[in-house]
Amino acid sequence: MEWRHQPLLPAEHAAAGPSQIAVVVYDDGLVRDALITRCAADLAASGYRLGGIVQSNAHRPGRRRCDMYVKDLLGGDEIKISFDRGNEARGCRLDPDAFARIDGWIERAVLEHVELLVINKFGREEANGRGLRAVLAEALIAEIPLLIGISTQNLPDFLTFVGDSATRLGPDIEAITAWCRNAIERRTRQFQPRLSPVQA
């Protein structure tokens, strides 16, 4: 079956129910990445079809900052998203070319109607109307459950983007995984075809 790209509506018009979005609110990005990655691995091992990205952070001797990698949960590819500018460098370390690929990964996941979309974070780029914001809006319009990491600093911007219906979760792997399973099952029941009673 060929999936046709749906027209993109403004994010503020993406109707999201209270069970469609969960945010993992954090102050420590390394803890966030570890929790979301573990949750995604557990769900995939249970047979759920996931899309989106998780991040891993590799420390190198002699470097203050780690190398950052993201993995496509649907296709399995992994790419490095950070530049090594040295310990004294300031400013953005993110590779814009890598983010073009990530955008494509997430768009494919939306078009293929995965059971759950996982995004490791809604960062400053998204808060400023750039980054992955457009494909996130498409996921909400498609009514795909979304698990996303949000720093306390960016949480107000995210809630402005999606409305105040998102479920807020702390750094508790059991609570995060339980929310994901429940959201997937609710959506499955919602979209199951209703059969008319068999006539006698």
Question: Are 44 and 34 within 8 A, CB to CB?
Answer: no
Residues 6+ apart with CB under 8 A from 37: 54, 55, 56, 120
What is the rounded CA–CA span in Å between residue 147 and residue 39?
A: 10
Helix axes 173-191, 29-45, angle to 10 degrees: 50
Please state, in angstroms and as integers, the Cα–Cα distance from residue 162 to each residue in 23, 110, 127, following that order.
11, 17, 11
Q: Which of 17-21, 82-86, 102-106, 194-198 has the highest mean pLDDT?
A: 102-106
| Cβ count near 166 (within 10 Å) | 22
**Range 101-122 average pLDDT:** 94
Q: What is the reported pLDDT for 86? A: 53
Q: What is the reported pLDDT for 93? A: 57
Residues 6+ apart with CB under 8 A from 113: 3, 142, 144
Q: What percent of the chain shows pLDDT beyond 90?
A: 44
Q: What percent of the chain shows pLDDT beyond 70?
A: 77
Predicted confidence (pLDDT) per residue in 3-15, tens digit: 233 333 333 334 4
Burial code (b: 16+ CB inside 10 Å, e: under 16) for 56-67 equals beeeeeeeeeeb
pTM: 0.80
Q: What is the reported pLDDT for 107? A: 93
**Range 21-34 average pLDDT:** 88
Min mean pLDDT across 27-31, 94-98, 196-200 is at: 196-200
Q: What is the reported pLDDT for 8? A: 30
